A and B are shown apart, each in its own frame.
Chain A
Amino acid sequence: MSAGATDLPVLLPYRAPAPIAPSGLAAPVLLGGGTFAAFAILFGASLALAQVTARPAGEGATTVLLRWAPLIFQGFLFNILISFLSMALGTLIGVLVGIAQVSLVAPLRKTAWGLTQFFRNAPWLVLLFYAMFLLPFEFRVFGLTIAFPAWVKAIIGLALPVAANVSEIVRGGVRSIPSGQWESAEALAFTRRQTMWMIILPQAFKRMIPPWMNLYAILTMATTLISVVGIQDGLTITRAALVAESRPELMIPMYTLLLLMFFAYCYPIARATMALERRFNVKA
């Protein structure tokens, strides 16, 4: 029987759609603009709807929104701050663990591998709870009490999965360098450490940048998880505003406003990641 000659229901293989614009920038930009416009239209429509359906014809929906917008934006900025700090901490730890993953010392390599796998395959929210409830709220060092506020614990909680992912990015980047580089460095009597820092990592670095940026965008969106553990971030403030106004019809415009902020921040990062990937691919 020739292929495709059946009237039975079959599951066709998935074919990845052709890239939208393999060379030009125009189409993805339009696409991004389109997505943004779609959000804006949703936002406008929901706002108009809220305006007309307000039961006791009280304050206009736009007025309410404008009143809360600066506060929501402040909360959003706090999310960004958390994302910066978690990323910095996670990258610092992740690079070290990633390098340990390609170490010649078996116990070190295996420990690093185990840690990476454990934190990479754990739900972020669970890790966050872990950090929130297992870390003390203050440290005592030589009679000195150092407070350990919730937001610091949240940064640590988010940094754990980030570190594990960075560790994998580093390992993958190092592994992607051809073995001939190691061989010729060894033949020139470079030590393993010199080879790693002077020859392998500088080359692997640019291959690590796009996935690292991608991870950052994911982390930024995941920072809203901290609202679950009671930290005043953009999402918490939005929810509080809705509670304060107790106007259910404002729910969609308010959340959309927050979504727009995240989109406006994360989409350019995604675009830049794609552009970098393309550039590095060509240059390889």
Chain B
Amino acid sequence: MAYVAVKGGERAIDNAHAWLAEARRGDTSVAEIGTAQIAGQLGRAVDRVMTEGSLYDRELAALAIKQAQGDLIEAAFLLRAYRTTLPRFAHAAPVDTAAMQIRRRISAVYKDLPGGQVLGPTYDYTHRLLDFSLLGEAVPPPAPEAPAAAANMPRVTDILAHEGLIEADGAGGKEPGDITREPLSFPAERDVRLQSIARGDEGFLLALGYSTQRGWGGSHPFVGEIRAGDVSVEITPPELGFAIDIADVTLTECQMVTQFKGSKTVPPQFTRGYGLAFGHADRRAMAMALVDRAMRAEELGEEVTAPAQNVEFVLYHCDNIEATGFVEHLKLPHYVDFQSELETIRRMRAEAREDAA
């Protein structure tokens, strides 16, 4: 075989893209999937892509999922690369989750509470049996509806705070950091930590949260509350001088209530772990809350021993866009470095042979 200098990278790339487009479309005798179908019927995938892609836009997230053939990390990457080009015209006011239009609200620490327990559209108590009727097409019967309640749904942490049993909510006031504009630096404050894990990989957060339950930095958590529903986003344009409502977003919020033995200056009280995600995402919000609490170990005077408590470890490795890029870059050519390794190992082996002789 003669050596032919590798040429034609350009054509190879074009052809690969053409093949990819064909593979993405699949069997053309089957109807093409529409982004409205993805947005409407694969909503949990859309939620995850919006959260990890840090952009609330169901249609674009659906497009990204379609373009990525359902690879959700790839879809989140597409969304991130789009969002980074968008201009910033305003900062929203903090959303008020106490005023959420509730679709789901549960607490594990009280049997009943003002506003009641609302299961909402949850998989929690489904039996995980494949529903073969979904192989066909059917319109489900309408779900029964309760009369719209103007019920007051106070946050469980506010109920606990009323009695002074839980620490005060994190101090607001100062301008929060922005991980999309400023590189991480350490020690990282809680605003920056929460931002990072809010768009961190769900699997990574889940595993880390789970590890705290198994003794790697445990904090005896209780689900104070999980609530999901719509909140309005408000901005105050300087030329108007008052707040206007620009959008509604669906959020899932989890407040973990965890033990704290107290310190020299603070009496024993419950502490908080906080999780927030776009869409319906109990698992993600709960895992995030566990990891948030674990990363507060140092601030609360606890010994830092477990991976979930190591802020640098968690923040530098939670981003799946960064992680997938760097892991997958190993498939790029490395033959120059490998060549230098070959020369080194040959030299070492030659020296070892000489020594043995």
The yes or no verdict on A and B being binding partners is: no
